[in-house]
Amino acid sequence: MSLQRSDVEKIAHLARLAVSEDELDAVTADLSNILHLVAQMELADTAGVEPMAHPLHMVQRLREDAVSETDQREKFQAIAPLTEAGLYLVPRVIE
Amino acid sequence: MHNKSISELAHGLRTGEFTSVELTRVHLDRIASHNPTLNCLVSVCEEGALQEAELADRRLRAGDVGQLAGIPIVHKDIFCTDGVKTSCGSRMLDNFIAPYDAHVVSRLKQAGVVMLGKANMDEFAMGSSNENSFYGPVHNPWQAGAVPGGSSGGSAAAVAARLCVAATGTDTGGSIRQPAAFCGITGLKPTYGRVSRYGMVAFASSLDQGGPMARSAADAAALLQVMAGFDGRDSTSAEQPVPDYSATLNDDLKGLRIGVPKEYLGEGLEAAIADSIQAALGEFVRQGAELVDISLPNTHLGVPTYYVVAPAECSSNLSRFDGVRYGYRCSEPRDLEDLYKRSRGEGFGAEVKRRIMIGTYALSAGYYDAYYLKAQKIRHLISDDFRAAFEQVDVIMGPTAPSTAFGIGEKSADPVTMYLSDIYTIAVNLAGLPGMSVPVRPVNGMPVGLQLIGNYFQEARLLNVAHQLQQATNWHSATPAGFE
């Protein structure tokens, strides 16, 4: 499986990753090599095999509907890049 | 003092032979001398460590005889530590001070350990050489210029160099066992779910598992005793009782059935490493164990399958790094999309971006069945291989890695070559089994690891088997030159 530069541009957009023009050829080659490795999976006969999402076949545990978190907004916002009046700031979205 | 075992140190602390403050100072001095060349710690907590040591000394005087009270350790920088930077080896989290402690950190803190610092690692635990760290590579104490393995390379190097008594690590595809092998220490990846993932920065959530890295199986048992156990804050934490890991260390191995998979000792393994593994197996036979030839026929599919499952989970987990709530933000974003893309593009290193993109591709519309679903089915086949093997044997043994520590820069240009250095460890994570690496006879002066794989929740058995080897041999107590 070989990818084209345009494939990588699309994947990078989906992943919200900036990939510069200079990096694009190298990234395309690396990702193609990895997919080539991954293609060895095609050799395996998996007809009738159930997919395994989780090693212990667990059932998701339910917990009591009780308050478990306290309000720590100031502590959490102290490590944010930009806040004001208790809000996280991002560039203007709506003009 | 820095060569003593945890039980010797605990005895010395309890009897007043030395204090935790003295023990901590010895290790801080060693860190000051050696960390500039090894680069195994990214944060050193001198003041905090001495405060914790004083507290431990007070508890010891008051009769608190917990085995880890006053013992200085380091945490891999993937475990959140309240008030101390948790970088995960990434520029993305270079400014991140977690507002809470990981479960493992708080359990060990309650037990009275002293945190000397945080260990270097491959960025977001993605790597097998520690070269993917934002803070630069770690040097192997056995040979400057060689990698320590990864991703828990800083933890392994720090333990091997006697800069700390023990360390925590995490293992998603071999990240405790392979660096333990490369640095000549003892490392244990517990059964998936045995140790809580709460506060451990997520990479691949169905594979990630924290565990101890130490200089002996007995020391690893002491750490695991505190780290293991149910935690409601991890949705996949196992509700299984925690046995007394030290109680069974001295059980004899008569009649132990050791499975030796032919796929682990064939093509691709250096002959001298195979000889070291055979020498260790011979020691178990002398102790009354029986070797059984087994096959794990889907071993060759482990690496390809892992490089779908792990990137898919990582692409989802790492979507939280958005430049908004915490972590790195690019300068002067034009709009929200530019903020996301440049914060992530500049904040993540090359390997992390590769894996996010592979995962994004594997999960994208039209490719899900061919990649992710196919990988999950093969994961079942790999798991069934082990299930069948454990009907015949008690423990499986083979090499931890196909080579000894390679040189810094030797494999970093080609991601796929690097991925293959985890060929013997990856399947264990896919199946969720416990695995361990213990030092055996070195090759050309470089450490070699024997891998022990157990059935689900059989950590006590693995520790027992490893301890018996370490009682009869002294491979595990070898110290790198210059660090005696």
pLDDT at B96: 97
Q: Which of A37, A72, A88 shows the shortest C-beta gap to B419?
A: A37
CA within 13 Å, CB half, B249:
17
Q: CA-CA distance, B44 to B85, in Å (whole number)?
A: 10
Which residue has tokens 């995962």?
B359
The answer to whether A55 contacts B431, with C-beta atoms less than 8 Å apart, is yes
CA distance B321 to chain A (A): 10
Q: What amino acid is encoded at B449 in this protein? A: G
Percent helix / strand / coil, chain A, rounded to 5: 40, 5, 55
Q: What is the pLDDT of residues B344-384, one digit of tens each?
A: 999 999 999 999 999 999 999 899 999 999 999 999 999 99
Q: Which of B325, B342, B373 shows the shortest C-beta gap to A18?
A: B342
| Length in residues, chain A | 95
The answer to whether B357 contacts A81, with C-beta atoms less than 8 Å apart, is no
Confidence at B161, pLDDT banded by 50, 70, 90: very high
Checking if the pLDDT of A1 tops 70, the result is no
Confidence at B64, pLDDT banded by 50, 70, 90: confident
Q: What is the pLDDT of residues B263-303, one digit of tens each?
A: 999 888 999 999 999 999 999 999 999 999 999 999 999 99
Q: CA-CA distance, B402 to B397, in Å (whole number)?
A: 14
- Spatial CB neighbours of B266, under 8 Å, sequence gap ≥ 6: none
3-state SS string over B3-53? CCCHHHHHHHHHCCCCCHHHHHHHHHHHHHHHHHHHCCEEEECHHHHHHHH
Of residues B408, B345, B376, the one with CA closest to residue B128: B408
Residue B321 counted as domain residue = no
Residue B284 counted as domain residue = no
Q: Which domains does chain A have, with CATH numbers?
A: 5-43 (1.10.20)
B43, B76, B118, B437: which is the annotated catalytic residue? B76
What ipTM is given for this predicted complex? Answer: 0.95
Is B76 catalytic? The answer is: yes
The CA-atom distances, in angstroms, between B118 and each of B310, B407, B454 are 25, 24, 29
Is B87 catalytic? The answer is: no
Q: CA-CA distance, B253 to B61, in Å (whole number)?
A: 39
Is A27 touching B (CB cutoff 8 A)?
A: yes
Residue B333 counted as domain residue = no
Average of pLDDT values for B18-30? 98
Of residues B14, B212, B29, the one with CA closest to residue B108: B212
Residue B221 counted as domain residue = yes
Q: What is the pLDDT of residues B224-259, one digit of tens each?
A: 999 999 999 999 999 999 999 999 999 999 999 999
Residue B170 counted as domain residue = yes
pLDDT at A60: 77
| A-B Cβ pairs (cutoff 8 Å, strict) | 169
CA within 13 Å, CB half, B101:
10
Q: Search chain B and give the residue with CA nearest A50.
A: B377
Q: What is the DSSP letter of B89?
A: T
Residue B484 counted as domain residue = no
Domain count of chain B? 1
Average of pLDDT values for B12-38? 97
CATH number at residue B466: 3.90.1300.10
Checking if the pLDDT of A95 tops 70, the result is no
> Domain residues for B245?
6-254+461-477
Residue B272 counted as domain residue = no
Token pair listed for B94: 């270079």
SS3 state of residue A64: coil
B20, B43, B129, B151: which is the annotated catalytic residue? B151
pLDDT at B450: 98
Residue B355 counted as domain residue = no
B175, B196, B343, B437: which is the annotated catalytic residue? B175
